[in-house]
């Protein structure tokens, strides 16, 4: 089954404790992206990647890192999480950038205390 | 960069009524306009999309219209049902740019 898999689904952590949210897709998509969803603010892009070893900042990249060492994986790294990073995070992929439908993962709800 | 405005933020209708959600975009180079539906606790899923060479597209009870001159596009849902209740997001992208999303519309369909 074609899908985007994120883990974990729920995560509670404390300020400053490094964490990684994993994302994997099995559709051989070139483009992958991370979004955060906050009430009233919609979906805001954090980082995206057009292909292996190619990443770029989205609209809200501060406090986040990503890597794209393999085509299928695109982990989101929070080196020193803060409470304002409490949010619902979605990973997504598509065959190409821009004019292609996005396939979303099931989301990761992160709480930073 | 692209800016997408979406209205209304909430929309309540009675079952069987029609619902219309409107979006405007700023970048005249945008040429791809998808709509996503997000049910409570679920991921956004594509329900319909339109490209700039088409003015209207229909899929059963859902239709999208695009006015390139005015830079706005709309989602039309006819004969609404309770299962249409969800948050709907519009988005716009052009060429090699990434998708920019509107802030979403919460649609509530009352039986």
Q: What is the pLDDT of residues B19-65, one digit of tens each?
A: 999 999 999 989 999 999 999 999 999 999 999 888 999 999 999 99
Residue B59's Cβ-count burial label (10 Å; 0-12, 13-18, 19+) is: exposed
CA distance A2 to chain B (A): 14
Q: What percent of chain B has pLDDT over 90?
A: 86
Per-residue pLDDT reduced to its tens digit, A63-87:
999 999 999 999 999 999 999 999 9
Q: Would you say the C-alpha torsion A21, A22, A25, A28 has a positive or negative sign?
A: positive
C-beta atoms of A43 and B89 within 8 A = yes
Query: Could A101 and B44 be called an inter-chain contact, meaning their C-beta atoms sit closer than 8 Å?
Result: no
Select the residue from A10, A29, A35, A43 to test the B interface by mutation, using most B Cβ atoms within 10 A.
Answer: A43
**Shortest CA gap A107–chain B (Å):** 7
CB contact under 8 A, B43 and A105: yes
**Calpha distance B28→A29 (Å, rounded):** 27
Q: Tell me: pLDDT of B80 over 80.
A: yes
B32 contacts in chain A (CB < 8 Å) = 98-100
pLDDT exceeds cutoff 80 at B94: no
Where does the pLDDT of residue A50 fall: very low under 50, low under 70, confident under 90, or very high at 90 and above? Answer: very high
Residue range B72-97: average pLDDT? Answer: 93
pLDDT tier at A53 (50, 70, 90 boundaries)? very high
Rounded to a whole number of angstroms, the distance from the CA of B102 to the nearest CA of chain A is 6
Cis peptide before B73 (omega within 30 of 0): no
Evaluate if residue A109 carries a pLDDT over 80: yes
Closest-CA residue of B relative to A4 is: B43
Q: Does the pLDDT value for residue B109 go beyond 90?
A: yes
- Interface touch B98/A90, C-beta < 8 Å: no
More confident residue, A95 or B88: B88
Closest CA to A40 of B29, B52, B105: B105
Is B96 in contact with A106 (Cβ distance < 8 A)? no
The alpha-carbon gap from B46 to the nearest alpha carbon of chain A, in Å, equals 7
- What is the 3 state secondary structure string of chain B? CCCEEEECCEEEEECCCCEEEEEEECCCCCCEEEEEEECCCCCCEEEEEEECCCCEEEECCEEEEEECCCCEEEEEECCCCHHHCEEEEEEEECCCCCCEECCCEEEEEEC
The answer to whether the beta carbons of residues B80 and B19 sit under 8 Å apart is yes
Instruction: Please give the pLDDT value at position B8.
Output: 97
Question: Which residue from B90, B99, B16 is spatially nearest to A99, judged by alpha carbons?
Answer: B99
Query: How many residue contacts between A and B have a Cβ separation below 8 Å?
Result: 56
Best residue in B98, B103, B104, B106 to probe A by mutation, most A CBs within 10 Å?
A: B98
pLDDT band at B96; cut points 50, 70, 90 = low
């Amino acid at each position: 089954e074609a899908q985007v898999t994120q883990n974990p689904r729920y995560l509670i952590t404390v300020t400053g404790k490094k964490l990684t949210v994993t994302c994997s897709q099995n559709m051989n998509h070139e483009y992958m992206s991370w979004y955060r969803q906050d009430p009233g603010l919609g979906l805001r892009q954090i980082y995206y990647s057009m292909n292996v070893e190619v990443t770029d900042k989205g609209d809200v990249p501060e406090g986040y890192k990503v890597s794209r060492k393999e085509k299928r994986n695109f982990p989101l790294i929070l080196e020193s999480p803060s409470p304002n990073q409490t949010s619902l995070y979605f990973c997504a992929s598509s065959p190409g950038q821009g004019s292609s439908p996005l396939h979303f993962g099931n989301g990761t709800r992160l709480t930073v205390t | 960069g692209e800016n997408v405005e979406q209205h209304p933020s909430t929309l309540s209708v009675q079952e069987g009524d029609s619902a219309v959600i409107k979006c405007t975009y700023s970048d005249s180079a945008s040429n791809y306009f998808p709509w996503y539906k997000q049910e409570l606790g679920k991921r956004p899923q594509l329900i319909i999309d339109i490209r700039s060479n088409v003015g209207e597209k229909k899929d059963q009870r859902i239709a999208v219209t695009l006015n390139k001159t005015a830079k706005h596009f709309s989602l039309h849902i006819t004969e609404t049902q309770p299962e249409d209740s969800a948050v709907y997001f519009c988005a716009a992208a052009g060429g090699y740019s990434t998708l920019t999303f509107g802030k979403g519309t919460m649609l509530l369909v009352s039986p």
